[in-house]
Structure formats: structure tokens, C-alpha cells
Structure 1
Amino acid sequence: MQMITDALPDLLRRLAAVAQRDVLVGVPAGEARDDGPTNAEIGYQNEFGSPANNIPARPHLLPGVAAVQDKVVAKLTRAADAAATGRPSDAERHLHAAGLLAQNSVRRTLTTTAYRPLSERTLAERRARGRTGTKPLIDTGQYRRSITYVVR
């Protein structure tokens, strides 16, 4: 006599556990910096620009994630495969790998993209604070370091 077990409910439960997880990449809202807005506000303003503040758009978050989209999708697929075969710790590992790939790509985009140069006013303000760097979006490095990912 052969016994047949319906494994579909268990498979669906395992897949739902991964499907309900999000991998988010960006800048947490956080606290205001010593010198004003939060890193999240700074990021938004630089990603999309602020004509009122004479800040041109310097996209980095969306292009940074897009640059590794295929690799991230591959990691997410591996996470789903691991969940489907009953390996939740492997699924979790692949979710975190996807987030880390995207985080690092956004950070790399910040440092390698040829953005519109900083205005003379901004450069003068930097020099007044003892800074000599001229690269847009990179002053103290605080904003770049705030770019992270979470799996929730």
C-alpha cells in the first residue's frame, strides 16, 4: 500500500514566508544631522533635485539599484528556491545578499558617476569648513555611509 501526502500546503506556506519579506535599499529616516536635515532628506533632494534650493538632480539610488537588477533578481530567485525546498536559513542568506548587492551598487554609483559640478558657492562653503573635496554628494562621507538595506 502506498501512502500519498499532500505537500502543497507546506510548500505554499514556505513560499509565502519569503514572498512576505521585503528587501529595502535606501537611507533610513533617522535623526537630523548636526547641521540640519536628515540623510534621507538629503538623499531625496539630491536624487530628484530641488529647483527652489538650486540643487540639480543627481540620481544615484534608482540607477544604482537598476545597475544590479539582474543580479538581485537572481538572488531573490535563489531565496524562493531555498524556501520552496525547506531551507529557510539559505533563503534568508540570499535575501541579505540581494540587499548587500544593491547597497554597494548605490554607494559605488555615488562615487563613480560624473555629476554636474558643484557651484562656486558650494565649493566656497566647503572650503570655509576646512573641506577640500569637489565631488558632488561626497563631503564628509556621512550620507554615503547611511545608504543601507534591510530585510523585513
Structure 2
Amino acid sequence: MSIKVKQDKVNAILRSLQGMERKQVMIGVPSDTSDRRDPTQPITNAEIAYIQDNGSPANNIPARPFMRPGMDDAAPRAAVQMKKGITGVLDGDHAAGERALDAAGIVASSAVKNVINSGNFTPLADSTLAARAARGRAGAQEELDRRDAGHAPGTDLAKPLVDTGQLRNSITYVVRSTED
């Protein structure tokens, strides 16, 4: 019995796999989506994300971690996407690796946004709620009234990290070469 090679695709497969290996998916607020719509805002979405994620004791802002919990939640689903990409490359679909990197980025950035949307954070301060209520934000005054009635602070009426939605909407992904 002899084996006849009709077409040698080993080098192309190796190039595709090496291409995937030289790239990374980064989740967060890229510089091109970092600016706020309101030009009077003194800081960017990236700076707000950092402050909210890590807290600022000097400014009495508690840490409300959302990046790492979102990425940790997404890791198993992102791994499935990467496995599909590698399997596709091994089956001869050389674009499967790029699609997998994009799919993993979508999974992870969506998971970070889901953590923000959950609102499971330290409740907002009364002063923050008052400022939101003065701007007409839904739920802020109702939460203040609830607290005045003796109820414990909650996050269901006025979610931390979600005021205008600009921070949440700026969370995305980029695929970058590790050689840059």
C-alpha cells in the first residue's frame, strides 16, 4: 500500500496557526472609542473604566470591578471559539483563525457589558443619586425616596456604572499582533 500526496497543505496550515499564535484579543476601551460625547467631560471612558473598576479612595469611589469578572465569565466560551478556529485551520479553512479571534472578542466584550448591566455593585451614594435625579435619570429619585423610608440601599432602581450608557457602550475588543 502506498500513499500519494495530492496537495501538501502542511505549510499553509502551520502559517495559519502561527498567525493565530502571534495575535491577542484585547478587551476594554480602545483609544478611538474613549472620548465622551459631552466635550465638557474632563476625562475619557477609558479613565472612567479604570477608576470604576479599581475605585478611588481619594475621591470616595468604591471599586466596582467589571472587567476581570466579565472576562473570567467569558473564558470558557471564548476557549470554545478558539478551539473552533484551530479545528477549522486544521481542516484547511485558513480564515477560521481570524474568525475565531473575532468571535472570542465578541464573547468577552459582551460578558463585560453583562457584568455592568447586572448592577451587582456597591450601591450609589446619596449624593450621586441626587445628581442623577437632578438630571432626570429614571429611578434615582425613587431610590432616594426608598432610602428615606428606611429601606437598605439597592441597585435595582439606579444601577452603578450605568448613567448615560457611554461607558458600557465603549467596551469592545481589538485583535492585535503581538509583534506591534
TM over 0.5: yes
Equivalent residue letter for 2:62: P
SS across alignment from 1:52: helix
Percent identity between matched residues is 42
Listed one character per residue, the Cα deviations across residues 14-42 of structure 1 (whole Å, up to 9, x for unaligned) are 21111112211111134542222110110
CA distance in 2, matches of 1:18, 1:114: 35
Task: Give the Cα–Cα distance (whole angstroms) in 2 for the partners of residues 51 and 72 of structure 1.
Answer: 34
**What is the TM-score of this pair, normalised by structure 1?**
0.87
Which sections of structure 2, spanning at least 5 residues, go unmatched?
Answer: 140-157
Match of 1:22 in 2: 24
**Are the equivalent residues in 2 in contact too, given 1:23–1:95 (CA < 8 A)?**
yes
The equivalent residue for 1:110 is 116
Tell me how many residue pairs correspond in the alignment: 152
**What runs of 5+ residues in structure 1 fail to find an aligned partner?**
none
C-alpha offsets along residues 29-66 of structure 1, whole Å, 9 cap, x if unaligned?
34542222110110011111111111101011110110
| 8 A contact 2:88–2:94 mirrored in 1 | yes
Partner of 1:61: 67
Amino acid at match of 2:100: H
Between 1:18-27 and 1:140-149, the stretch displaced more is 18-27
C-alpha RMSD of the superposition: 2.1
**Structure 1 pair 135–29 and aligned structure 2 pair: CA distance change class (3 A):** same
Mapped pair 1:11 → 2:35:
no
Cα distance, 1:128 vs. partner? Answer: 2.2
**Secondary structure class of the residue paired with 2:26:** strand
> Residue in 1 aligned with 2:52?
46
TM-score of the pair, normalised by structure 2: 0.75
Instruction: Give the Cα–Cα distance (whole angstroms) in 2 for the partners of residues 93 and 6 of structure 1.
Output: 24
Deviations 1:59-100 (A, max 9, x none): 111101101211111111221222233312222222211111
- Higher alpha-carbon Rg: 2
The farther-off stretch of 66-75 and 88-97 is 88-97
| Counterpart Cα distance in 2 of 1:144 and 1:103 | 10
8 Å CA contact 1:14–1:86 kept in 2: the answer is no
Between the aligned partners of 1:138 and 1:15, the Cα distance in structure 2 is 40
